[in-house]
Amino acid sequence: MAMQTLLVANPKGGSGKTTLATNVAGWLAARKQRVVLADFDPLRSATEWLARRPPLFPAIAGWTPDSGKDELKEHNPHWLVIDTPAGLHGDALRDAMRRADILLVPVSPSAFDTAATQHFLDQIGEYKAIKKGDIAVGLVAMRVDPRTNSAGELEEFLKSFDFPLVAHLRATQVYVHCARDGLTIADLPHSRAEQDLEQWRPLTRWIARHSRGA
């Protein structure tokens, strides 16, 4: 099976890209897929997370653009999950989009995030591959507390786009602990992550539906 590329992107820093990228990589690895987590962010948060990952859990290989394409080929991945840097735009964004089969856009409920996301989605909406439907684009609401006004405003904002709002992921210490320990929601006992696994189900179904193995 040819490698599929899942890009996690939003130019706004702090929108939840690394949280989303690491957890998607963990879910794919738990499904016995060979996964490479590509860290394009100069802060290398995803690479540091991988270094903390316990060896007994499903393997995820790491890769950075400095490593060269031969090293990526050696892993022979089913999936390449790319964690992109803040401020991604112009040629760098176009180049990243050229690689992508699936694009996930995490958005947090703040006025700054929504403004940046509006600009970003308007920009990629002009790309030929997006217009032709060659890249599946899904929006993910991050750190959402459904009881707040900002959650409702985010919901309305994201529904105004042609791209689907695929999932809502709550603000919880579970993600903080996973980040600290090199784990993902998919690695936790069901009893500890039941609510979060439930929130992930629409997202994982959507990814599965848009993968070439579907």
CATH code assigned at 152:
3.40.50.300
Amino acid at 98: R
Nearest to 166 by CA among 102, 114, 111, 98: 102
Q: Which domain holds residue 165?
A: 4-210
Which residue carries 């603000």 as its tokens? 171
Answer whether residue 214 shows pLDDT above 60: no
Per-residue model confidence (pLDDT) at position 118: 86
pLDDT of residue 27: 97
- Per the structure, how many domains does the chain have? 1
Which residues make Cβ contacts (< 8 Å) with residue 140, sequence separation at least 6? 16, 20, 104, 105, 106, 107, 165, 166, 167, 168, 169, 203
Nearest to 3 by CA among 70, 76, 94: 76
Return the higher-pLDDT residue of 201 and 212: 201
Predicted confidence at residue 44, as pLDDT, reads 93
Q: How confident is the model at residue 198 (pLDDT cuts 50, 70, 90)?
A: very high
